Amino acid sequence: MSAVSQLPFPESFNMVFFGGAGDLVTRKLLPAMYQCHKNGLLVEAGRILCVDRQDLSEEAFLELAHEKARQFIPAAEWDAAVWAGFRQRLAYLRIDATQPEQYTPLKERLKKAPAAVTVFYLSTAPSLFATICAHLTRQGLNGPNSRVVLEKPLGHDLASANAITADVDRYFHENQVYRIDHYLGKESVQNLMALRFGNALFEPLWRRMWIRDVQITIAEDVGIGSRAGFYDKTGALRDMVQNHLLQLLCFVAMEPPASLDSNAIRNEKLKVLESLVPFTEEDVHQKTVRGQYRAGVCGGKAVPGYLEEEGIAPGSHTETFVAIKAEIANWRWAGVPFYLFTGKRLPERLAEIVIHFHDVPHPIFPLPKSGACAPAKLVIRLQPDEFIRLYLYAKQPGDSMELQPVSLDLNFAEQFKVRRAEGGYERLLLDAIRGNQALFVRYDEQEQAWRWVEPILNTWANDPKGPLPYAAGTWGPAASRDLLKRDGICWHEGK
Ligand SMILES: NC(=O)C1=CN([C@@H]2O[C@H](COP(=O)(O)OP(=O)(O)OC[C@H]3O[C@@H](n4cnc5c(N)ncnc54)[C@H](OP(=O)(O)O)[C@@H]3O)[C@@H](O)[C@H]2O)C=CC1
Ligand SMILES: O=C1O[C@H](COP(=O)(O)O)[C@@H](O)[C@H](O)[C@H]1O
């Protein structure tokens, strides 16, 4: 079952990647388009034009794209003959996006190959969004069959996010604007919708009476890679919480939408964001923990601390780890803590949502000593593997009545023997071409998410103490576990 309605695929499309010779396009987006091509999901009349200011001939660009594709497409998925076919769709155009006259060749190129739909994917710094949209408009390229995809970061705070919205809105209608959050393209996120709204079983349990707490974790073992300049100005709260973690929270907490229509889904997510309890300065001190990694061992390798990474400002207070206790003030969720965790240089790459159910009101069986952690839980694993696992108690075989936790497993790779798209971009690129906005973020969701994180940003900015240190390869500062311990709760798996 698909989580969103399938709109028909247009008979032809042009996908124009601005920043087309950059890291994101060559490492993720072109490989994702290759997978769509390989799996027969693109119409024949579908062209991909990469636009960038880098001085590359078409041949040199195609060589770069090929080299990156070999590097980033898993070997089992690589097929030289398929690439040769895919290559026919690709073209390169050198444009400095700030120069209005340089859009004329773009217009001509698009005129030569008219398509039912043209998607302009802005994989550039957001400071270029308004300029690009303005120049596209001047060339008459913002018509009703054009769409614009905006890459993150969509702002640095509420004011800058609103400024981007207002700028883009001058040239493109909201129904042409696709704000990407690649987590929404991940199969497991859509499966969460299927689980909740395709089965009657969970709905009566999905509320404060039965759910004790929710823990949402996005852990990364990698550091900041080559993105020091970006990351040091951004930090984990802006990079991961304002978007990915809050979006996952919305999918867990939202009310059933009336249909799979884009706005029906986004209306419900917005209500969740609006119901998040705002943080006072005192709350920030009590309910958030920020950390920064120090040198340590990650994946068996000694790695430097954040402050030793190339390009990081001396003494930087940028956080690489965040833990937050959030609460939703509505009838379904009042009093249920939602713990959000994310960090870089943690022991493993892991993204999952864990729903803990309450203990039975009156235990009659001798339970194993599980401390404060109720083992009745539903685990929705997003990556690296994908599954939904329900942990319950069962009687241990033998002549006692001792109970042990057991699990009911839904392993998607085993259940569905078809290829599962990795990463999230494939689905979102196809949806942008189809015109399905359900898995893209609407301006008001984004605004509300910024409104909620802003007091945290401001309080941290004014706090001279800075983030707590944690050794790379560990699960972040111990204080993050104390956030839960105070509520008599353990982090899932006792990490
Ligand atoms: N890389 C990633 O994993 C992710 C990136 N993003 C976001 O996506 C966007 C792109 O990121 P990324 O690909 O890493 O960045 P890159 O710097 O690798 O790519 C951007 C490309 O745009 C080009 N460019 C810059 N200015 C202009 C201009 N005026 N006209 C035409 N081309 C221009 C750059 O050229 P030059 O090199 O000459 O500057 C570069 O080739 C950023 O906003 C980033 O935050 C979001 C999620 C993940
Ligand atoms: O948006 C971002 O996401 C990645 C993590 O994405 P994943 O799909 O690999 O889990 C993160 O590394 C990056 O810092 C952030 O900008």
Q: 347-406: per-residue pLDDT in tens?
A: 999 999 999 999 888 888 876 655 445 568 999 999 998 899 999 988 888 888 888 889
Measured from the alpha carbon of residue 182, the closest ligand is 2
Which region holds residue 80: left if phi is over 0, alpha if psi is between -120 and 50, else beta? alpha
pLDDT of residue 4: 46
Compute the distance between CA of residue 118 and CA of residue 466 in angstroms, rounded to an integer. 46
Compute the distance between CA of residue 214 and CA of residue 203 in angstroms, rounded to an integer. 16
Binding site residues for NADP(+), as ranges? 53, 152
Centre of ligand 1 from the C-alpha of residue 24, in Å: 7
pLDDT of residue 299: 87
Please give the mean pLDDT across all residues of the chain: 93
Pocket test for ligand 1, best of 124, 127, 150, 182 (most atoms within 8 A of CB): 124
pLDDT of residue 2: 42
Q: With a cut of 0.85, is the ipTM above it?
A: yes
- Residue 12 carries which DSSP code? -
Residues pairing with 408 in the sheet: 390
Binding site residues, as ranges? 53, 152, 182, 186, 220, 239, 344
Contact between 307 and 316 (Cβ < 8 Å)? yes
Alpha helices in 39-114 (DSSP H): 58-72, 80-87, 103-112
Pocket test for ligand 2, best of 156, 180, 182 (most atoms within 8 A of CB): 182
Map residue 471 onto helix, strand or coil. strand
Centre of ligand 1 from the C-alpha of residue 26, in Å: 10
Taking CB atoms and a 6 Å cutoff, what residues make up the pocket around ligand 2? 182, 220, 239, 351, 423
Compute the distance between CA of residue 202 and CA of residue 44 in angstroms, rounded to an integer. 42
Q: Is the CB of 96 under 6 A from ligand 1?
A: yes
Centre of ligand 2 from the C-alpha of residue 182, in Å: 8
Q: Using the atom order of ligand 2, give the atom closest to the CA of residue 224.
A: 14
Alpha helices in 73-199 (DSSP H): 80-87, 103-112, 129-138, 158-169, 187-197
- Residue 127 carries which DSSP code? G
How would you class 75 by CB atoms within 10 Å of its CB: exposed for 0-12, middle for 13-18, buried for 19 or more? Answer: exposed
Q: Using the atom order of ligand 2, give the atom closest to the CA of residue 244.
A: 1
Compute the distance between CA of residue 265 and CA of residue 90 in angstroms, rounded to an integer. 34
Pocket test for ligand 2, best of 233, 239, 318, 383 (most atoms within 8 A of CB): 239
Centre of ligand 2 from the C-alpha of residue 423, in Å: 9
Phi, psi of 389 (to 5 degrees): -135, 125
pLDDT of residue 369: 58
Q: Using the atom order of ligand 1, give the atom closest to the CA of residue 21.
A: 41
Give the mean pLDDT per block of 10 residues along the chain (495 residues): 64 98 96 96 97 97 98 95 98 98 97 96 96 98 97 94 96 98 93 94 95 97 93 97 98 96 97 98 97 95 97 97 98 98 97 93 75 73 91 88 87 78 90 96 98 98 96 96 89 60
Q: Given 135, 244, 356, 492, which residue is catalytic?
A: 244
pLDDT of residue 368: 65
Among 161, 218, 188, 197, residue whose Cα is nearest residue 442:
161
Centre of ligand 2 from the C-alpha of residue 217, in Å: 13
Compute the distance between CA of residue 248 and CA of residue 241 in angstroms, rounded to an integer. 10
Question: Is 244 assigned a catalytic role?
Answer: yes
Q: Is the CB of 19 under 6 A from ligand 1?
A: yes
Write the DSSP string, 317-379: ---SEEEEEE-B-STTTTT--EEEEEESS-SS-EEEEEEEEPPPSS--S-----TT----EEE
pLDDT of residue 145: 97
Q: Is the CB of 202 under 6 A from ligand 1?
A: no
